[in-house]
Amino acid sequence: MKIPKKISPDSIKDSVVEIRYSSKIPFEVAIGFFYKSLDDTYNYTNRPIGIGKQQLTNSIPSNLQQIGIQIANRHLFYNEKIKIELLPNSIIFNCLDSYISWDIYQPEIEKTLSQITKAEIIENYTRVGLRYISEYPNLDLKDCLKFSFSFNMPEMKSKTYTFHSEFNQDNLKIILNLNNNIQIINSKSASQNELGISSVSNVDIDVIMENIEEKSLESLLSKIEIVHQKEKEIFFNLLTDKFLESLNPVY
Domain ranges, ordered by start, for the chain = 12-246
How far, in Å, CA of 119 to CA of 117, rounded? 5
Q: What share of the chain has pLDDT > 90, as a percent?
A: 74
Q: Residues 198, 186: contact at Cβ < 8 Å? A: yes
How far, in Å, CA of 70 to CA of 107, rounded? 31
pLDDT in tens, 153-182: 777 777 899 999 999 999 999 999 999 999
Q: Residues 6, 101: contact at Cβ < 8 Å? A: yes
Q: Considering only CA atoms, which of 139, 144, 136, 137 is closest in space to residue 243?
A: 144
Q: Residues 84, 60: contact at Cβ < 8 Å? A: no
Q: Which helix (H) or strand (E) holds 207?
A: strand 194-209
Q: Tell me the pLDDT band of 187, cut-offs 50, 70 and 90.
A: low
**Is residue 205 pLDDT above 50, yes or no?**
yes
Q: Tell me the pLDDT band of 73, cut-offs 50, 70 and 90.
A: low
**Is residue 44 pLDDT above 60, yes or no?**
yes
State the pLDDT at residue 193: 54
What is the pLDDT averaged over residues 3-10? 94
Q: Tell me the pLDDT band of 135, cut-offs 50, 70 and 90.
A: very high
Number of residues in the chain:
251
**Is residue 51 pLDDT above 70, yes or no?**
no
How far, in Å, CA of 187 to CA of 34, rounded? 39
How far, in Å, CA of 109 to CA of 83, rounded? 10
State the pLDDT at residue 113: 97
Q: Tell me the pLDDT band of 195, cut-offs 50, 70 and 90.
A: low
Cα separation values, 98 from 10, 83, 85, 94, 130, Å: 10, 12, 18, 10, 16
Average pLDDT, the chain: 87
What is the pLDDT averaged over residues 210-234? 97
State the pLDDT at residue 50: 56
DSSP string for 63-111: HHHHHHHH-SS--EEE-SSEEEEEETTEEEEEESSS---HHHHHHHHHH
State the pLDDT at residue 196: 75
Lowest mean pLDDT of 64-73, 177-186, 200-209, name the range: 64-73
Instruction: Reply yes or no: is the peptide bond before residue 137 cis, omega within 30 of 0.
Output: no
**Is residue 103 pLDDT above 80, yes or no?**
yes
